[in-house]
Amino acid sequence: MKVSWKPVLGLAAVVAVVAGGYVAWRLHGREPALPAYVVSTNGRIEAEQFDIASKIAGRVVEVTVEEGQMVAPGAVIARLDDSTLQAQLRAAEAQVAEAQQAIATAEAEQARAASSRRLAQTELTRTQELARGGYAPTEQLDQRRSTLQVAEATVTAAAAGRRRADATLAAAQANAAQVRTLLDDTVLTAPRAGRVLYRLLRSGEVVAAGGRVATLIDPSDVSMIVFLPAEQAGRLAYGAEARLILDPVPQYVLPATVSFVAPEAQFTPRQVETSQERGNLMFRVKLRLPASLLQAHIEQVKTGVRGLGFVRLDTTQPWPERLQVRLP
């Protein structure tokens, strides 16, 4: 049987043409290579996180925020049950009132003791004058002296009672102030503006002292975390310019600065680099986005976004055209 090779040769020619066209597209359609002084590396966007935690243990009665919600500084995040503390405050305020009454009583005692001493001193002086003229017996003079000594002891005791009353009032006021502070701690607020990343508790759950209620991110403090080998990381300067290109918006080139270079090397996380590079020790570097840019696009700020980070090893050289800043 005679086999015709023409169809086979024709198909091979078509495959060759298509493959050649694909290779040509890959070679010529690819963006120009970066200069040697520009380093590119994969990274992901991260933001500064901060926790909203309770200073005291208690039952959560309300969580006012949801995940993804933007909150202002001082915004209420959650409230704890304060019924027990309210009762303690009423008891503490009653102790303050009682201590204030004790001070009033001590002041009255001091006044009476001072008056008694003045009277005893006057009577002693009069009796001494009479005794010098022979008109008062020695026994009466001794009695007046004894009365004055008792009056002086009463004054001393009254002064001590006043000091005890003052101390009792100070302790009661301190206790009341402490309870008020604990009551303030039942309302958990945001120390600064942020977006709720995790809502960790619901109403009715019990939180321990130091327990977290929510985790927020600061959308004004956002960086791309990249990893560079020692020979490259060691040449970076704090504050040096960087560029970011994010996977969801590759048409934009975002400005950034080198804000942190880890002092010690570590293994590169699995999700960042290739399998070969993961075996090497790398230095963690933060490329921070400007706060003004973040504020202008605060609703689009998200963490976990991946992309490329670019740094210059020679800052005297210009950025290539493809890495000139292009903003939304």
The CA distance from 195 to 49, in Å, is 9
Please state, in angstroms and as integers, the Cα–Cα distance from residue 131 to each residue in 121, 134, 150, following that order.
Answer: 15, 5, 21
pLDDT for 275: 54
pTM: 0.69
pLDDT for 29: 43
Domain range 31-47+219-323, CATH class: mainly beta
H helices of 258-321, in order, are: 275-278, 291-296
pLDDT for 87: 96
pLDDT for 22: 38
The CA distance from 328 to 310, in Å, is 19
**Residue-wise over 223-259: b if at least 16 C-beta within 10 A, else e?**
bbbbbbbeebbebbeeebbbbbbbeeeeeebbbbbbb
pLDDT for 12: 41
Output the CATH code of domain 53-82+187-212: 2.40.50.100
pLDDT for 26: 39
pLDDT for 16: 39
Mean pLDDT by 10 residues, the chain (328 residues): 42 39 41 86 94 96 95 96 95 94 89 88 84 79 85 88 91 95 96 94 94 95 93 91 96 96 76 54 92 90 93 94 93
